Structure 1
Amino acid sequence: MARRPTPDHVSLTVRVPRGHEGFWRIIRDLDAAGPWTVGTVAERTNAALASVGDYVRRLAKAGICTVVEERPSAFKPVKVYRLTERPMLAPRLRRDGTRCKPTGQEQMWRALRNLGTATYPELALAASTDEVAIDPVAAKAYIKMLAKAGYLVAMAQERSNTPVLWRLKPSMNTGPLPPLVMRTKLVWDQNEGRVVGEPRLEEARS
C-alpha cells in the first residue's frame, strides 16, 4: 500500500487559554477607563466566568483591587471593582491572596535578558535564588527550546565537554514575560501572543 504523502508544511492551530496574564491585561485596560466587574472582564476573554471570578477574588484578598460599589441584580448584587495597584506583570497569587514564588522559566528569562549571553551552567547559576534553585539540566532544556524557536544564537560551534555560549538576539528580547515552553513542545511568547518557531509534529505510533 502506498504511503500517504506528508506535506512539507502543516498548519497547526493552538488554542491557548488567556489565563491570569490575559485577565490582568484586560483588567488594567478596563480600570484605566473606570470601574469594572467580573462579567465585563469575562466578556473579553474565552475563559469561563468562574475562572475570571477566581482570579479577581485572589486580587481582592491581596488588596490589589477593592469593591467600590454593589449593583442590584435579579440574583445577587454585582460587585464593582477598582485597582489599588497597577503592576505591569500579572500578580501571581494563591487562592488566599498570598504571592506565589516566581517560576523557573520566569527566573531564567529574566537572567537571560540581564546577561545577554550565557552557557547553560551560567544561566542556572544566575537564575537561581534563595527561594528557587535552577537545575542546570532544566536550564539546558530551556535554552535548547529557545534556540530552536529562534530566540538564541550560538556564539561558537559546540565542542565535547564545553558548554555552548548562547546570545539572546536583540530582536527576540520581546519583553519581561518569559516565553513558555508548552507541553506540546511549542514556545509561546506571552508578550506578543503567538507561537514562535516551527512546531515539530511526530507521527503517533500504534
Structure 2
Amino acid sequence: MRKLPLGRKAAHLTADKKRPQGRQVMWEAIRAIRTFTIQDLEIKTNITQGTLRTYVMGLQRAGYLDRQEPERKNNRYGPVRWTLINDVGVEAPRVTRDGRHVTQGRGREQLWRTMRIIGQFTFHELAVQASTEELVVAPGEANFYCQYLHRAGYLVCMEKGGPNKAARYRLLKTRYTGPQAPQIQRVRQVWDPNTEQVVWTPEGQTDE
C-alpha cells in the first residue's frame, strides 16, 4: 500500500481538462455568480448545458434557486435567469432533477465532519457521534471509512486494535484538507475532492 505525492494526480483524472464534471464545480460557480443564466454557468464551468440545466432545475425545485421569467424586448424573450436564495455553504447540495435530496454519500460527509470535532475515537464511537435522526451511520461503514483514511494518512492510530478491542484513531490536523469528505472510489483508491488529487492507491496499482 502506498500514498501518492500530494502534487500528483492520476492520469485518468487529468486527461480531460476541457470538460470538468460534478455538482461541486457547478455549485461553486452558482455561489460565485449568484444570479445567472445557463449560458453564464457554461462559460464559468465549461460544463455542457444539458448537465447544467438538470442540476439547476433540481436546485430550483428543492428551494435553493428562484427562477426569474425572461423579459420580452422587441417581440423576443431573453434567457431565463436564476438567483441563489438558499446558500447552504461550500458543499454542493445533492439533489435529483425533481428536487429530491440524495442521501448516498452523506454518511461519509458526516463521518468526516465528526472526526475533526471529537478528537480520538473508535469506529463505534465515531458512528454514534456522526449519526443524526435523519441519517444513522452504520458501525461497519465507519470502520470501512476509518481503515481507508488511515491507509491514506489522514488518520493516525493512537491505540492498536485486537481481539474484542477496536483501534483508536485521531484525525491529523495537517491532513484536514477542507470540508468535502475524501472519497473511496470503486477501484479502492482514495480521492480528495478538496485538493482534486488521488492520495492513495492499493499496493501494485499505479497512477499512470
Pair 130,77 (structure 1): closer, same or farther in 2 beyond 3 Å = same
Corresponding residue of 1:70: 70
| Letter aligned with residue 80 of structure 1 | R
Listed as ranges, the matches of 1:190-205 within 5 Å are 190-198=193-201, 200-202=203-205
| Letter aligned with residue 171 of structure 2 | L
Corresponding residue of 2:12: 14
Corresponding residue of 2:80: 79
Name which of 163, 166, 169 aligns with 2:169.
166
Corresponding residue of 1:4: none
SS at match of 2:159: coil
Higher relative contact order (CA 8 A, sep 6+): 2
- Could you list the runs of 5+ residues in structure 2 that have no partner in the other structure? 15-19
Moved beyond 6 Å, runs of 4+ = none
Q: Distance in 1 between matches of 2:118 and 2:199?
A: 22
Q: Distance in 2 between matches of 1:119 and 1:191?
A: 25
TM-score (norm 1): 0.79
C-alpha contact (below 8 Å) 2:37/2:79 kept by paired residues? yes
- Could you list the runs of 5+ residues in structure 1 that have no partner in the other structure? 1-8
SS at match of 2:198: strand
Listed as ranges, the matches of 1:129-144 within 5 Å are 129-144=132-147
CA apart distance, 1:100: 3.6
Pair 11,170 (structure 1): closer, same or farther in 2 beyond 3 Å = closer
Corresponding residue of 1:95: 97
Kindly report the root-mean-square deviation, in angstroms, between the aligned alpha carbons of the 2 structures.
Answer: 2.9
The count of residues paired between Structure 1 and Structure 2 equals 191
Pair 11,48 (structure 1): closer, same or farther in 2 beyond 3 Å = closer
CA apart distance, 1:119: 0.8
Q: Distance in 1 between matches of 2:133 and 2:67?
A: 36
